[in-house]
Amino acid sequence: MSFVKFLVSKAFVKQIALAIIIVIALIFITRWWLGSTTNHDERIAVPNVKGMTLDLVSQELENAELRYFIIDSANFNPDYPKYSVIDQEPNAGKFVKENRQIYLVLNPSGYQKMTIPPIVGKTRRQAEPTLKALGFKIGKITYVDWIGEDEVRDLRHKGKKVKAGDRLEKTSVIDLVLGNGKGDYRDAISNNASDDN
């Protein structure tokens, strides 16, 4: 039997038809199996968990059949309670599949602490930008008799004296005590000597 006759024979045509039927059946079975195991077209709306504590988040996401993972804490945001969610991915309202992991960013317990730089003896013009660059706020400005006009003599926070090396939370208000340009050279020498001791 020649090859051409074999290609048009009943046996070959039956084999091809049978192979096509098996392939089509496998495609339908595979699609049905994937649809049932991957919950095809079954979607869950992601709930809004911003502002919630972890206990509430856990309960909310468990009810929605979703999981969560904490990415990291961010910079402190005073608009949200401590240790609450300040961001989530995917966002609220997006549709996801069951058991999807939701990524959360938590609000830390407070602002990061910053070290006060050495600014006593510097001018107000130098001190203010230095403190602001670190995230501090400038509060009250008071003056004392001192030969150096606008020279920083002291730093205070909530009425208490603070010095270089002390650590305060970002956004803390620091009051400046400055020289008024009055006084004489002898007072400056004696005050410097007492500051060194």
The string of DSSP codes covering the chain is --HHHHHTSHHHHHHHHHHHHHHHHHHHHHHHHHHHHTTTT--EEPP--TT-BHHHHHHHHHHTT-EEEEEEE-S--TTS-TTBEEEEESPTT-EE-TT-EEEEEE--SSPPEEEPP--TTSBHHHHHHHHHHTT-EEEEEEEE--SSTTBEEEEEETTEEE-TT-EEETT-EEEEEEE-S-S-HHHHHHHHHHHH-
Cβ atoms of 113 and 139 within 8 Å: the answer is: no
Structure tokens at 197: 């001791």
pLDDT in tens, 46-99: 999 998 988 899 999 998 889 999 887 667 888 888 888 989 999 988 988 888
Give the span between the Cα atoms of 74 and 76, in whole angstroms.
Answer: 6
pLDDT in tens, 86-118: 899 999 889 888 888 999 998 887 788 899 999
Segments making up each domain of the chain, as ranges: 44-106, 113-196
| pTM score, whole prediction | 0.53
Our measurement of the distance from residue 61's CA atom to the centroid of its chain's CA atoms, rounded to an integer in Å, reads 20
CATH number for 44-106 (one of 3.30.10.20, 3.90.1150.10, 3.40.920.10, 3.40.710.10): it is: 3.30.10.20
Question: What per-residue confidence (pLDDT) applies to 31?
Answer: 84
Give the span between the Cα atoms of 180 and 144, in whole angstroms.
Answer: 6
Higher pLDDT, 173 or 3: 173
CATH number for 113-196 (one of 3.30.1490.190, 3.30.10.20, 3.40.50.1370, 3.40.50.970): it is: 3.30.10.20
Computed over every residue of the chain, the mean pLDDT equals: 85
Mean pLDDT computed over 15-35: 87
Q: Hunting for tokens 């649809």 — which residue is that? A: 35
pLDDT in tens, 157-183: 999 999 999 999 888 999 999 999 887
